[in-house]
Amino acid sequence: MLRLLPGLAALALVLGLADEALAALVLEAGTGLRLDDPWLKRALVFTLEQAGLSTALSLGFALPVARALARRPRFPGRGWLLRLFGLPLVMPAIVAVFGLVAAYGSGGWLARAAAAAGLEWPGFPYGLGGILLGHVFFNLPLAVRLLLPLWASVPGETWRLAAQLGMGPWALWRLIEWPLLRQALPGIAALVFTLCSTSFAVVLALGGGPAATTLEVAIYQALRFDFDPPRAVGLALVQLALCSALVLLGQRLGAAMPQPEGSGRMHPRPDAAGRLGRACDALWIALAFAFVGLPLAALVAESLDGPWRDVLADARLWKAAGLSLAIALGAGALALALAFGLLLASRELGLRRHRPRLAVAVEAAGMLGLALPPLVLGTGLFVWLAPRLDVFAWAPALVVAIAALLGLPYALRALGPHFRAVAERHDRLCASLGLAGWNRLRLVEWPAWRQPAALGAALAAALAAGDLGAIALFGTPETATLPLLLYQRLGSYQMGAAAVTAAVLLALCLGLFAALERGLGGRDAR
């Protein structure tokens, strides 16, 4: 029983937070939930509309870009381009919003280039257009990175046979590529749709007004501006139902599919040598590079030209940076501790007590963060705790708890496979040698867990440092983090100060990720 105590404590904390939040939502809903509320209907319709359009644009752009990269496995700068595509995946959303405004805004790079050429630039398309632009910026690189392995899975013998049969580009697409993609696209589309439907910072900053309000933003407005808990609860329950349905759909559609096996030898595609194909591939790759790279370059350039001396002399920046760092470290440590506890209990139940179903259920409890968006969880905690304590005074602790719960799935994904592998390989040997407790942890398990544990903690901490959702709900001027301070400066059009704040936030997230991964994971951590 003692071996289960850490897991039971972690399970109690995870389920306690989630259960109290959901119970508060359900009880409050009984006093004020109205499914016929026109505001709820409008927010739900817009949420689905923008998520559907964002998904269609992201995948519609990602398919030709990924195909071009798959057809051109070697060209100068290909590795750097893929690294560039990885940056939006770890960049705080509010920082990327600044880059988009700096590149495409009415006073941005393209507007100045158009003015120099004697042309008129229409300015940044706030509203639905801005939301779509922001979501495609984030999800195009993600979709490309998910699609590329599908082309890489095609055996070289398949391309050689296609060349022997004289297949052209259309025949290759129809007979080889599309049957493969058709099985994977629904799962990728479900993932992108879920991310777009739960997006908060992009919609809040680029929505431009009440006409472009999603469920996430509507929850925030109902609590912080209207202070209408019943309406916020109704919106949160609808958002919870939507997210749960999307997660279940994504798990069903995203099941791994069998891949044909080959000898592993590479063979060039028969359609890779034509001039027209090379020109089209170069065009798609160049467009993707410009689309993703321009906001990042604008962010760097604007931050270098920003009023660094004035901003760095502002005590609010350092107070927000210190609070962001404390929240990130607290959330990373708590997420890692919860992951350890749940995995210890899962190992005990699965390998030693032969209860595989219970073991799977314990780990599944840690995945609640995937179905609970920050504002849904925050709304439940707000409704539950508001009558009992000053939620705004306790904002940092609440944000740490919410961020840890949301980062827990990433820690479990990073640590879980290694945790199980060590137990399966060394459990009997450790038992025969009498290794247990601290000695087993120090000599056998920690060396194998160290790097994945560092990766899980780094991911959870970086996500917490850049998150705007929870702190936007609970934050005050005294408890503002860097993401909230950046949003406030963007909202007041302090673009120079916002540029420096964005650079500091990005440096904090990347530096924190690297420091945890290398410091906790050792010199060999990548």
Q: Which amino acid is at 175?
A: L
**Greater pLDDT, 33 or 115:** 115
| pLDDT tens, position by position, 96-146 | 888 888 888 777 788 888 888 888 777 666 788 889 999 999 999 888 888
Say whether pLDDT at 258 is over 50.
no
Say whether pLDDT at 69 is over 70.
yes
Say whether pLDDT at 261 is over 50.
no
C-alpha closest to that of 43 among 274, 200, 272: 200
Q: What average pLDDT does the segment 296-325 reach? A: 89
DSSP string, 228-274: -HHHHHHHHHHHHHHHHHHHHHHHHHT---------------TTSS-
* CA dihedral of residues 303, 308, 311, 312 (deg, nearest 10): 120
Rounded to 10°, the helix 93-104/275-304 angle is: 100
**Greater pLDDT, 422 or 501:** 501
Which of 112-116, 299-303, 329-333, 350-354 has the highest average model confidence (pLDDT)?
329-333
pLDDT of residue 520: 76
Contact in structure between 139 and 196 (CB atoms under 8 Å): yes
pLDDT of residue 264: 47
**Burial call 71-110: b when 16+ CB within 10 Å, e when fewer:** bbeeeeeeeebeebbeebeebbbbbbbbbbbbbbbeebbb
Confidence tier at 257 by pLDDT (50, 70, 90): very low
As given in the structure block, the two tokens for residue 460 are 């959870």
As given in the structure block, the two tokens for residue 97 are 């919003």
As given in the structure block, the two tokens for residue 514 are 């690297």
pLDDT of residue 345: 81
**Greater pLDDT, 428 or 321:** 321
Q: What average pLDDT does the segment 237-245 reach? A: 82
C-alpha closest to that of 412 among 452, 357, 467: 452
Measured between alpha carbons, how far is 205 from 214 in angstroms, rounded to an integer? 12
Measured between alpha carbons, how far is 526 from 512 in angstroms, rounded to an integer? 14
Measured between alpha carbons, how far is 467 from 498 in angstroms, rounded to an integer? 16
Measured between alpha carbons, how far is 330 from 278 in angstroms, rounded to an integer? 50
* CA dihedral of residues 266, 79, 196, 333 (deg, nearest 10): 110
Q: What average pLDDT does the segment 339-343 reach? A: 85
**Greater pLDDT, 321 or 75:** 321
| pLDDT tens, position by position, 464-497 | 888 888 888 888 888 889 999 998 888 787 888 8
**Greater pLDDT, 277 or 508:** 508
pLDDT of residue 260: 46
pLDDT of residue 351: 64
| pLDDT tens, position by position, 412-427 | 877 777 676 676 666 6
**Greater pLDDT, 255 or 521:** 521
Contact in structure between 200 and 259 (CB atoms under 8 Å): no
What proportion of the chain, given as a percentage, has pLDDT over 70?
Answer: 84
Which range, of 184-198, 289-303, 409-423, averages the lowest pLDDT?
Answer: 409-423
| pLDDT tens, position by position, 368-402 | 776 677 878 888 888 888 888 888 888 889 899 99
Say whether pLDDT at 35 is over 60.
yes
Confidence tier at 253 by pLDDT (50, 70, 90): low
Which range, of 28-32, 130-134, 316-320, averages the lowest pLDDT?
Answer: 28-32
Confidence tier at 2 by pLDDT (50, 70, 90): low
| pLDDT tens, position by position, 206-225 | 886 777 888 888 888 887 77
Measured between alpha carbons, how far is 245 from 507 in angstroms, rounded to an integer? 36
Say whether pLDDT at 335 is over 70.
yes
Say whether pLDDT at 242 is over 80.
yes
Contact in structure between 100 and 134 (CB atoms under 8 Å): yes
- Phi, psi dihedrals of residue 268, rounded to the nearest 5°: -65, 145
Mean pLDDT of the chain: 80
pLDDT of residue 319: 93
pLDDT of residue 391: 84
Measured between alpha carbons, how far is 482 from 500 in angstroms, rounded to an integer? 11
Nearest-Å Rg of the Cα atoms of the chain is 25
pLDDT of residue 324: 93
